[in-house]
Amino acid sequence: MNAPATKVTPISGFPELLPAERLLELHFIDVIREVFELHGFAPLETRAVEPVERLLGKGGDADKEIYGISRLAGDDSGKDAALGLHFDLTVPFARYVLENAGRLAFPFRRYQIQKVWRGERPQEGRFREFTQADIDVVDVGELAPHFEAEMPLVIAEAFRRLPVGEFRIQVNNRKVPEGFYLGIGLSDVVGTLRIVDRLARFGADKVTAMLLESGATEEQARQVLALASISSTDLSFVDAVRALGVQHPTLDEGLDALAAVIAVGMEQAPGVLVADLQIARGLDYYTGTVYETQLVGSESWGSVCSGGRYDSLATDGRTTYPGVGISIGLSRLVHLLVTKRGLTATRSTPAAVLVAVVDEETREASRRVAAALRGRGIPCEVAPSAAKFGKQIRYADRRGIPFVWFPGAGEGVDQVKDIRSGEQVDADAQTWQCPPEDLHPAVVTP
């Protein structure tokens, strides 16, 4: 039963973290989860797979390549629908709502922190397997607009508790460009949005060329770019759009909705929400408000948290469940903070204390010390062998464990050593206070 000695190599696009990095990622997840729960979002986990036909046509084709799954040994063909791994958490959530509508209370608020898979070409910070952290609210038939302001403000609260620095959540409403394009005589709204979505990446000249190529006149292209250039952290964007002189009822509707979101943001988190009229969210299923998020100083990373309102994603043909949600690209965010900003965890294990073993005969005494510390919530390990104390201290040091505990072993009193300062003091496992900042690994910036 020996394993074959095949060479072990990473799989491109399927990154894995070292223990200290995973501790850092878990810290992010814990903070995000705490904020989501403080806001009354219920936890949910959906299966990893959906029928392929449900994934197709919702952005899950050209943009977000689907992984199909099949039993290697079995013959599933014909019996069941073909299955694929989900590429986001919104499409599965919409399906879950339809499937469980009779057992859920609406409006239904849920959060979901899970892996998703996309067969895209792997790039820096773009993976084939990654974790997203989503919140959504859905209701039956109608969804109150105040939820559209709430979503980004919950994210702002989570981000303020995380070492991500300054950030901006850009908000747009698809009805603004839609009404504007129709108002200037461009009827291919989706095609135009798709081109404008590339503005940040390709720049104005390239996008102008693409617009002209798609059939727009020079004046139309100029107007499209003029609209996309508007942004403000207050309500001045409304006048700036009006000044372009375009009229359309859908444009009015979009401006009103966007102004309502920004107004709430100005009250609750001044400067965090930005009306940014070039945000479009590509080929997705959004129908109204859309969000993207930039870390200030790291705009080249692209959006680390995106979402929007979707009015017709969850429908069984009779009843529609409109929703709004936002999703943190967690793996991407953590990867970039670790590799570009040097974020790290203070140690590679949860253990705050290593209990030394004097000799194998007294291992049980060391274990009792550890049990006493654990009973008081202090994570610890017992040394793996009764090696020389110098070696046991090196064991702790290599993992960043700050304290080594020396059991008195029958005769003397116990002592604990802070291996960073070298300070060693008498201690009792029933009463010793671990400094709060050392109890759990912390995330530190360089």
Site for a second copy in 260-319 (CB under 8 A): 267-268, 285, 287, 312-317
Q: Return the C-alpha torsion angle 391, 18, 327, 293, nearest 10.
A: 90
411 Cβ contact list (under 8 Å, min separation 6) = none
Collect all residues with Cβ–Cβ distance below 8 Å to 306 and sequence separation of at least 6: 281, 290, 291, 292, 293, 326, 327, 329
Q: Which is nearer to a second copy, 137 or 186 (CB)?
A: 137
Nearer residue to a second copy within complex by CB, 105 or 423 = 105
Q: How far is the CB of 237 from a second copy (least distance, A)?
A: 22
178 touches a second copy (CB under 8 A): no
Pairwise CA distance, residues 88 & 109, whole Å: 17
Q: Could you tell me the two tokens for 140?
A: 């039956």
Burial of 142 from C-beta contacts in 10 A (0-12 / 13-18 / 19+): exposed
Q: Which of 69, 235, 259, 372 binds a second copy (CB under 8 A)?
A: 69
Shortest CB 441 distance to a second copy, Å: 9
Closest listed residue to residue 172, CA positions, set 180, 183, 160, 162: 180
Among 160, 163, 363, 372, binds a second copy (CB under 8 A): 363
| 8 part of the interface to a second copy, by CB under 8 A | yes
Single residue of 257, 349, 393, 417 touching a second copy by CB under 8 A: 349
Find tokens 């007294």 and name the residue: 362
250 binding a second copy? (CB under 8 A): no
Residue 311, Cβ density class (10 Å: 0-12 exposed, 13-18 middle, ≥19 buried):
middle
With CB under 8 A as the contact rule, which of the stretches 78-86, 181-189, 211-219, 336-344 interacts with a second copy? 78-86
3-state secondary structure of 92: helix
Residues 84/69, Cβ–Cβ less than 8 Å: yes
**Shorter beta-carbon distance to a second copy: residue 54 or 341:** 54
Is 110 among the residues that bind a second copy (CB under 8 A)? Answer: yes
The minimum distance between CB 245 and a second copy, in angstroms, equals 29
CB nearer to a second copy: give 2 or 431.
2
Tell me: does residue 123 bind a second copy (CB under 8 A): no
CB 355 within 8 A of CB 407: yes
What's the Cα-to-Cα distance from 181 to each of 123, 186, 193, 292, rounded to whole Å? Answer: 33, 5, 9, 21
Closest CA to 406 of 396, 440, 398: 396
Q: In the complex with a second copy, which residue's Cβ is closer, 191 or 350?
A: 350
* Residue 145 found at the interface with a second copy (CB under 8 A): no
Nearest to 180 by CA among 194, 162, 193: 193
Shortest spacing between CB 226 and a second copy, in angstroms: 27
Q: Pick between residue 90 and residue 208 the one whose CB is nearest to a second copy.
A: 90
Q: What are the residues facing 130 on neighbouring strands?
A: 116
Query: Binding residue for a second copy (CB under 8 A) from 28, 32, 89, 109?
Result: 109
Minimum CB separation from a second copy for residue 118, in Å? 9
According to CB under 8 A, which one of 161, 201, 374, 420 is a site residue for a second copy?
Answer: 374
State the minimum distance, in angstroms, from the CB of residue 117 to a second copy.
8
Q: For a second copy, which is the closer residue by CB, 102 or 245?
A: 102
Sites for a second copy among residues 37-66 (CB under 8 A): 37-49, 51-54, 57-58, 61-62, 65-66
Using a CB cutoff of 8 Å and minimum separation of 24, what contacts does 413-420 make?
414/369, 416/353, 417/393, 419/393
When the beta carbons of 246 and 370 are compared against a second copy, the nearer one is: 370
Burial class (CB in 10 A: 0-12, 13-18, 19+), 400: middle
- By beta-carbon proximity to a second copy, the closer residue of 120 and 253 is 120
Look up residue 57 and give its DSSP letter: T
**Does residue 95 interact with a second copy by CB under 8 A?**
yes
Q: Which residue has the tokens 């792997």?
A: 122
How many chain residues interact with a second copy (CB under 8 A)?
103
Nearer to a second copy, 30 or 239 (CB): 30
List C-alpha distances in Å: 339 to 33, 302, 333, 343, 361.
Answer: 24, 15, 10, 8, 46
Q: What is the footprint of a second copy within residues 391-420 (CB under 8 A)? A: 395, 398-399
CB of 242 to a second copy, least distance (A): 26
Query: In angstroms, what is the minimal distance from the CB of 115 to a second copy?
Result: 7
Site residues (CB under 8 A) for a second copy, limited to 20-39: 22-23, 25-26, 37-39
